[in-house]
Amino acid sequence: MAKQPELDDFRVPYFDNGKKKTRFSLNDFDPGAKPFSTGSKDTDRDRLAEIGAQLEMQQECLHAQQKRRVLLVLQGMDTSGKDGTIRAVFHDVDPLGLHIVPFKAPTPVELAHDFLWRVHSQAPAAGELTIFNRSHYEDLLVPTVRGELDAQAFEQRCCHIRQFEEMLAYSGTTIVKCMLHISKDEQRVRLQARIDDPSKHWKFDVSDLEARKQWDAYQSAYRDALAMTSTDYAPWYVVPADSKTHRNVMVAELLLRALQELKLEYPPPKESLKGIKVE
């Protein structure tokens, strides 16, 4: 009998601090796979609604406690579905205590500081669930593909990222990082759909085509970045993303598991409110 897939089957091996090279390749993960799909788009949506109800309760407890913090990092190639994942997974979640940060190209002021300067201020506060739509990893991946970071500078930034995420983790932040793994063929279909539909032109930028020409370079940069920054306190998960509904379900499952492991509860009742009647 075939083994049922588990979420940790898609976790990138933990970084070993350079003692030996951990074998990891994105080619080991099929972007078209649907290991956590419930069978059809409709049943996937039903499952997502079930998870959404649980996420809403967990997130409310997180916000009410004002003790823990949760950070969800979404990375992926253009059209992998970062925006769509946020819309679908958090459709029914109370926006109170939910913080979404879309990282774009750094401004001149941000470039004048270290690359993590703009990121730290956006990290979740106590009681917050924060979502990074792209993240500090853009400042590792993009300059690498452009040839602006050599191997030594790449390793240094990976080290700084590990230290930064370790600091967040030991300060009470639970970190879940998802690489939305889309195939080159599926990206072509989605980019063409944006070009063919005038109502989606705002989503398209000609730079997307330039980035597509560097597909192999980005895949290589992602492979190295994930391998060198997946840790026990901030693990990476490769999420097959050719199926939008599967992608949404898997990200939701990962986040729900992380929240449940915190064993969140509502604060205890206030004795001072006993017997009070509102006139």
pLDDT at 17 over 90: no
With DSSP H G I counted as helix, E B as strand and the rest as coil, what are the percentages for the chain, rounded to 5?
50, 10, 40
Q: Which residues make Cβ contacts (< 8 Å) with residue 55, sequence separation at least 6?
A: 89, 90, 93, 252, 255, 256, 259
Dihedral over alpha carbons 121, 70, 5, 54 (to 10 degrees)? -140
Q: How confident is the model at residue 20 (pLDDT cuts 50, 70, 90)?
A: very low
Mean pLDDT of all residues in 97-119: 94
Distance separating alpha carbons of residues 253 and 152, to the nearest angstrom: 36
CATH fold for domain 27-265? Rossmann fold (3.40.50)
Could you read off the pLDDT of 29-48 as tens digits, one per residue? 999 999 999 888 999 999 99
Q: Is the pLDDT of residue 227 over 80?
A: yes
| Percentage of the residues of the chain whose pLDDT score is greater than 70 | 97
Region of poorest pLDDT, from 7-21, 24-38, 212-226, 259-273: 7-21
Domain coordinates in residue numbering, the chain = 27-265
| DSSP-derived 3-state class of residue 252 | helix
| pLDDT (mean) for 56-61 | 94
Task: Give the pLDDT confidence score for residue 46 in this predicted structure.
Answer: 93
Residue tagged 């997502």 (tokens): 48
Question: For the residues 146-169, what does the mean pLDDT come to?
Answer: 96
Q: What is the pLDDT of residues 182-225, one digit of tens each?
A: 999 999 999 999 999 999 999 888 888 888 999 999 999 999 99
Residue 25 CB contacts under 8 Å (≥ 6 apart), including other chains: 223
Q: Which helix (H) or strand (E) holds 133?
A: strand 129-133
Long-range contacts of 82-88 (CB under 8 A, 24+ apart): 82/133, 82/134, 82/180, 83/133, 84/244, 84/247, 84/248, 85/180, 85/247, 85/248, 85/251, 86/131, 86/133, 88/48, 88/244, 88/248
